[in-house]
Amino acid sequence: MKTTSIEQKHEQALLQAAMKEGTVAVPTLLLKYYKRLKLSELEAMILIQLIAFLDKVKNDFPTIEEIQALMSAAPEQVIAGIQRLLKEKFISIDEDIDEISGIQYERYNLDPLYTKLAAAYLEEQAAKRIRPSKTIHADKGKDIFSIIEKEFARPLTPMELEGISSWLDKDNYREELILAALKEAVFAGKVHFRYMDRILLEWSRNRVATVEQAKEFTQRFRNSR
């Protein structure tokens, strides 16, 4: 029994050490769209490894050997995969100069990947023919993603696209209510995703389900201040 107890403690210590390794935030859109973007499983895994190196190891230019050591693919397969990712502009290699040492160095840039994922998402939404909504400026014929993007005055990030999709599909917020939250964000001068999310969450907690109820709730809140 004593030996078993010691072994259990050792196993628990190993599990705790493993948990401290943490997790890597792999974009859901990469898992969802890599086939649509004609990426192989090998190429998708290389991208995931690059994300992990950047996120966990803070190494933005791992060597082929470092990448291959974490994969079952042969070195030549990894090299071919990286070459194709560069050729098809899923990643790029940027050159920078260290401000302190003045030494030039290279790093992988994953922004092209995120741009392609965002484009794939928008393309899918357009294909679904999302019905037009009334905008806060009465612009007609635009889907909710385009409306929010216009007010943000910049392209939506993949995370924001996922968040808006979750509002519609998971939280079942009406488009009119989301646009009302956007209007409140504009009014408050805080036109960003997190502020809209807080508004919608607060409305949900108070059982606000329509634009009329949102107006009443907001008015009561302002009067109480």
- Write out pLDDT tens, residues 2-26: 445 677 776 776 666 655 566 788 9
Give yes or no for a contact between 180 and 214, defined as CB atoms under 8 angstroms apart. yes
> Considering only 36-45, 78-87, 88-97, 211-220, which range has the smallest mean pLDDT?
211-220
Q: Residue 157 has what DSSP assignment?
A: P
Nearest to 167 by CA among 156, 179, 155: 179
3-class DSSP assignment, residue 103: coil
Burial of 29 (0-12, 13-18, 19+ CB in 10 A): buried
Could you tell me if 24 and 58 are in contact, meaning their C-beta atoms sit under 8 angstroms apart? no
The whole-angstrom separation of Cα 38 and Cα 40 is 6
Residue 59 to residues 18, 56, 102, Cα–Cα distance (Å): 21, 8, 19
Q: Is 186 helix (H, G, I), strand (E, B) or coil?
A: helix
pTM listed for this prediction: 0.54
Find out whether 71 and 131 touch, Cβ atoms under 8 Å. no
Domain at 131-224: CATH architecture: Orthogonal Bundle (1.10)
Contact at 8 Å (CB) between 107 and 60? yes
Q: How many residues does the chain have?
A: 225
Q: CATH 1.10.10.630: which residues of the chain? A: 131-224
Q: Are 199 and 187 in contact (CB under 8 A)?
A: no
Helices 175-188 and 158-169, axial angle in degrees (round to 10): 130
Q: Taking CA 190 as the corner, what is the angle to CA 114 and CA 209, rounded to the nearest 5 degrees?
A: 90
Ranges for all domains in the chain classified under CATH 1.10.10.10 = 25-129
Task: Give the pLDDT confidence of 171-187 residue by residue, as tens digits.
Answer: 999 999 999 999 999 98
Query: Does residue 39 have a pLDDT over 80?
Result: yes
What is the pLDDT at residue 139?
44
Burial of 103 (C-beta count, 10 Å sphere; 0-12/13-18/19+):
exposed
Model pLDDT, residue 183: 93
CATH code for residues 25-129: 1.10.10.10
